[in-house]
Amino acid sequence: MPLDVKRLRVLRELAERGTVAATAAALSFTPSAVSQQLSALEREAGVVLLEREGRRLALTDAGRVLVAHADTVLAQLERAEADLHAASTEVSGTLNVAAFSSFARSLLPQAAAAMLRHQHLQLHVRDAEPQDSIPLLRLGELDVVIAQRFPYVPRDFGPAFHVVELFDDALHLATGPGHHDAPARFGALADRPWVAGHPGTSCHEVVIHACHAAGHEPRIVGFSNDFAVVAALVAQGVGLALIPEIAHDQAPPEVTLRPLDPPLSRQVLAVVRAGAEERPAVAAFLAELRAVAAGRPD
């Protein structure tokens, strides 16, 4: 019986995450669904891929062999599909795209609109943070993800993905009433209240790590990954925040935005499965993303 590609991706995720629970959380599955997918993959493979060690599932030798080939196999399948599509120069089929919220609001609509000229392409777009969209990209449910890489928070996508760097998006200190005297240096911001992203997200971690690097613990009093919400809280004097340049237009007049000293910026990236970048629809969309990025005002 041939191996199911989605189940092979689940096995690879288990090898990276270590537990069924962590794999389920990464893929937005239930643990039961992960176990069912892995059991079905074992039946397809005809060999035992996993064995129980206490409460954990561990890869057998056969499981490790299969995982070792997974990235190569999956990338080659993507390239094979790309070659098949490339036989026709027409951009067609279905393209599923996700972008983090500030990009989805500001730049994604331009790139999506440019793709409308391809009459035989069905484009589906959504807003989603990388921690939710990257697992769906792994499973083949998305084709392109717009992600972000923050300073102090390294994000290594690994050989399973092809990454295109679009632009650097400067992070500015946002201050409101009661805090306009705050210097734009992390070393001088001890004891100031902060509005940051939700715990576990890069927008949260960058504040934590930047303050730690400056020698103090941030006092975070507000949490949101929506920069309109963040800016509104800053405008009322609730706390300071880091707001990227592409979200400056969401800041009310009460908010002052200043470059940090030293400067900080996040990288905005387009991520696709390795090999898929050669597929005509994906290549066309990546070209539109590059054009939109290049056309941003300085």
Question: Per-residue pLDDT for 16 more than 80?
Answer: no
Q: Quickly tell me which residue has 């705050």 as its tokens.
A: 182
The domains located in the chain, with CATH, are 5-84 (1.10.10.10), 91-165+268-294 (3.40.190.10), 169-264 (3.40.190.10)
Mean pLDDT of 148-162: 83
Mean pLDDT of 235-260: 97
Specify which of 57-61, 85-89, 107-111 reaches the highest per-range mean pLDDT: 107-111
- pLDDT-derived band at 1, boundaries 50, 70, 90: low
Q: Compare 274 and 113 and report the one with higher pLDDT.
A: 113
Q: What is the pLDDT of residues 259-282, one digit of tens each?
A: 999 999 999 999 999 888 888 899
Question: Per-residue pLDDT for 216 more than 90?
Answer: yes
Report, in angstroms and rounded to the nearest whole number, the Rg of the chain calculated over CA atoms. 22
Q: Which amino acid is at 24?
A: A
Average the pLDDT over each of 58-62, 150-154, 197-201 and give the range with the smallest value: 150-154
Structure tokens at 41: 């993959």
Q: What pLDDT is attached to residue 86?
A: 58
Tell me, letter by letter, the H, E, C secondary structure of 77-98: HHHHHHHHHHCCCCCCEEEEEE
Mean pLDDT of 27-39: 85
